[in-house]
Amino acid sequence: MKLLTTPRMDRCIGCHSCSLACARLVHKRLSWSSSGIRIHSSGGLSTGFVALRCLGCAPAPCAAACPTDALKQRDGGGIFFKRKHCIRCSACVPACPVDAIYQDERNDVFVCIHCGRCVSFCPHDCLEMQEVEGMSEVVI
């Protein structure tokens, strides 16, 4: 199984192409906030950008906080996200230690599922999929 990584964020120009690709291809929306990967300034004009995305925690605190098993622990780290089981309770959002889970104004939850669809849309090659042993398939 592969995990989305951001090894070259020093190249990021903050274009949000990855976020828009995720929102459109995975979540069928067109909004930076409807994405599993979100790009933010790292603090100033000359300090670059950071990518907020699931880091593949093991154990995943968001899965432990979810009362309906919409977020379930994956072998090797990370989570499965079953949108149809999500009751929009927000319990997972503060449980994430890296602010990688976002809940929009309609209370829909967005988290990176490590599908890799965003990678090819980055014009500066900031993202890549890295092989991680012991991880299971992605579900949304």
Phi and psi for 94 in degrees, rounded to 5? -75, -15
Is the peptide bond between 59 and the residue preceding it cis, with omega within 30 degrees of 0?
A: yes
Q: Is residue 82 part of a domain?
A: no
Q: Is residue 80 part of a domain?
A: no
Phi and psi for 50 in degrees, rounded to 5? -125, 150
Q: Which domain holds residue 111?
A: 2-56+99-131
Question: For position 46, what pLDDT does the model report?
Answer: 67
Count how many domains the chain has: 1
Phi and psi for 75 in degrees, rounded to 5? -60, 130
What pLDDT, in 10s, does the model give residues 50-109?
999 999 888 999 999 999 999 998 887 778 899 999 999 999 999 999 999 999 989 999
Burial of 65 (0-12, 13-18, 19+ CB in 10 A): middle
Question: For position 85, what pLDDT does the model report?
Answer: 96
The CATH number of residue 23's host domain is 3.30.70
135, pLDDT greater than 60: no
Q: Is residue 90 part of a domain?
A: no
pTM of the model: 0.84
pLDDT band at 134 (very low <50, low <70, confident <90, very high): low
Q: How far apart are CA 112 and CA 39, in angstroms?
A: 13
Query: Are 83 and 111 in contact, with CB atoms under 8 Å apart?
Result: no
